[in-house]
């Protein structure tokens, strides 16, 4: 349909003034409550949908006398936002200090849940599990999943890879190569299409030897990623050491090497010293960029960063092939949308594959995977060898009515299609398993 320019500009001005974007009150696609809300805003009236309370608590999904099984996730942090309309938003996020709750309450209660960007700029990006719960409110008010609100095309599933950490020494030096190969082979036989393991062994070339054994077991076309996470590893690689290991990984078909160098807190250093060149992060950016030029192996990073300006610098300096913001630690769903848009705007062969999580918090991460056209993997972290992800998810399903929501088939996980984050929460189950304050 062709729209006359004057009419088009008039409609743009009207929607911008209302803060509602491209939606029209005449659109039959709008949920009725939202059409009413848009009309109220255009008439200058206060929004009717108001946040009335916020609550943060923990649940432990276990019955009396029941034993915990290896690899299961039974403990969840719950973030709950109540509204005057009866709509309740939930997220099962990462742990945030309870000391932050009064500030969150002051920010949100009595206010409009739709103005998420305002709250993000006020600091909610530092406790973004609350941001996920806000999106759950907004999606339920509109009757749409979050990824559709943010312009994502209809997408039903995403390929998953398993980040495997063996029990024992954190550097995995006590895990024989053939055991790693056998465990990964088992996941492959259950239909999974890629894994990531640590490369922390004291002799860094031992992880190249491990790759050789694993590659022999799983074949040439099975993606094997390596996680150095330089900030958490026992020591920081020199550039020469990183280059040597990366070339070994490349020779034997590794899929990527994650954060080969140390990671700095760019957010604080940016504000303290100003120019990037004076920031502690700059050295890592320069070295990552140089390493990318010397090897054909993909270099990835960004899981610990919480500043969109840093991701812009990664793109400007060609630091990474894949950006990995965390869906919560990175600032939340809206921040991930901003990073995904930057990836496209820079027009480079770079993808955004966010840092992962497991259990019920996956709901928000899967919404990110659904709206980002460059995201073709979802990470399932801390997968226990010998335990399938479906078993890890099992206890959390007791808190949901739509227990099929995280179906995994042939290495792909279903993306929740229901309103908001897509979880139909069983309120009675939440109260049953809620941990009571001592």
Beta-carbon-side half-sphere exposure of residue 300 (alpha carbons within 13 Å):
23
Q: Which of 100-104, 303-307, 415-419 has the lowest mean pLDDT?
A: 303-307
Give me the percent of the chain exceeding a pLDDT of 90.
Answer: 79
Q: What is the pLDDT of residue 262?
A: 85
pLDDT digits (tens, 9 = 90+) for 208-255: 999 999 999 999 999 999 999 987 889 889 999 999 999 999 999 999
State the helix-helix crossing angle for 308-316 and 333-345, rounded to 10 degrees: 20
Give me the percent of the chain exceeding a pLDDT of 70.
Answer: 85
pLDDT digits (tens, 9 = 90+) for 305-353: 988 988 999 999 999 999 999 999 999 999 999 999 999 999 999 999 9
Q: What is the pLDDT of residue 276?
A: 61
Give 35's pLDDT tier (boundaries 50, 70, 90): low
Q: What is the mean pLDDT of residues 423-431?
A: 98
What 3 state SS string does 282-295 have?
HHHHHHHHHHHHHC
Q: Which residues contact 325 (CB under 8 A, 6 or more apart)?
A: 302, 303, 305, 311, 331, 335, 336, 339, 352, 354, 355
Please check the confidence at residue 304 and state whether its pLDDT lies above 70. Answer: yes
Could you tell me the CA-to-CA distances from 312 to 52, 226, 331, 341, 349 in Å, in that order? 37, 24, 15, 11, 15
Please check the confidence at residue 281 and state whether its pLDDT lies above 80. Answer: no
Please check the confidence at residue 186 and state whether its pLDDT lies above 60. Answer: yes
Q: What is the pLDDT of residue 29?
A: 37
Question: What homologous superfamily does CATH list for 157-429?
Answer: Enolase-like C-terminal domain (3.20.20.120)
Domain ranges of the chain: 157-429
Query: Rounded to whole angstroms, how far apart are CA atoms 247 and 272?
Result: 37
Please check the confidence at residue 177 and state whether its pLDDT lies above 70. Answer: yes
Average pLDDT in the chain: 88
Q: What is the mean pLDDT of residues 419-426?
A: 98
User: CA angle 84-85-86, nearest 5°?
Assistant: 95
Strands (E), 165-319: 195-198, 224-227, 256-258, 298-301
Q: What is the pLDDT of residue 3?
A: 37
Q: Which of 7-21, 180-194, 209-223, 320-334 has the lowest mean pLDDT?
A: 7-21
Q: What is the mean pLDDT of residues 130-143?
A: 98
Q: What is the pLDDT of residue 361?
A: 98
Please check the confidence at residue 34 and state whether its pLDDT lies above 90. Answer: no
Give 40's pLDDT tier (boundaries 50, 70, 90): low
Q: What is the mean pLDDT of residues 267-275?
A: 42
Q: What is the DSSP letter of 416?
A: P
Give 9's pLDDT tier (boundaries 50, 70, 90): very low
């Amino acid at each position: 349909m062709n729209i006359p320019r004057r009419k088009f500009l008039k409609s743009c001005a009207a929607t911008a003034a209302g803060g509602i974007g491209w939606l029209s009150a005449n659109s039959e696609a709008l949920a009725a409550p939202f059409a009413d809300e848009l009309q109220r805003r255009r008439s200058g009236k206060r929004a009717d949908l108001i946040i009335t309370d916020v609550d943060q608590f923990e649940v432990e999904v276990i019955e009396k006398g029941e034993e915990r099984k290896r690899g299961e996730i039974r403990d969840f942090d719950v973030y709950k936002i109540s509204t005057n309309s009866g709509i309740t938003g939930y997220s099962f996020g990462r742990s945030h200090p309870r000391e932050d709750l009064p500030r969150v309450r002051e920010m949100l209660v009595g206010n409009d849940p739709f103005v998420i960007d305002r709250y993000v700029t006020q600091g909610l990006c530092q406790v973004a599990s609350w941001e996920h719960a806000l999106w759950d409110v907004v999606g339920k008010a509109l009757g749409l999943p979050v990824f559709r609100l943010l312009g994502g095309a209809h997408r039903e599933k995403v390929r998953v890879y398993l980040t495997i950490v063996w029990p024992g020494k954190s550097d995995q030096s006590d895990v024989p190569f053939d055991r790693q190969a056998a465990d990964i082979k088992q996941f492959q036989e259950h239909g999974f299409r890629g894994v990531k393991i640590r490369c922390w062994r004291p002799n860094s070339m031992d992880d190249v030897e491990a790759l050789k054994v694993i590659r022999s077991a799983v074949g040439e076309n099975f993606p094997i990623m390596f996680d150095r996470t330089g900030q958490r590893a026992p020591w920081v690689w020199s550039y020469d050491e990183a280059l040597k290991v990366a070339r070994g990984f490349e020779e034997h078909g590794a899929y990527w090497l994650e954060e080969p160098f140390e990671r700095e807190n760019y957010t604080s250093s940016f504000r303290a010293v100003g120019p990037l060149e004076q920031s502690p992060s700059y050295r890592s950016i320069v070295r990552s960029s140089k390493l990318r030029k010397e090897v054909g192996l993909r270099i990835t990073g960004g899981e610990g960063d919480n500043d969109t300006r840093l991701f812009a610098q990664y793109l400007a300096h060609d630091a990474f092939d894949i950006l990995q913001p965390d869906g919560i630690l990175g600032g939340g769903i809206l921040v991930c949308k901003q990073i995904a848009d930057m990836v496209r705007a820079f027009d480079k062969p770079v993808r955004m594959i966010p840092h992962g999580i497991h259990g019920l918090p996956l709901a928000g991460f899967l919404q990110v995977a659904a709206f980002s056209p460059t995201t073709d993997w979802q990470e399932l972290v801390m997968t226990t060898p010998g335990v399938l992800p479906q078993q890890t998810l099992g206890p959390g399903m007791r808190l949901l009515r739509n227990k099929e929501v995280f179906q995994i088939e042939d290495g792909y996980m279903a993306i929740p299609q229901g309103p908001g984050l897509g979880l139909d929460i069983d309120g009675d189950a939440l109260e049953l398993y809620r941990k009571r304050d001592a």
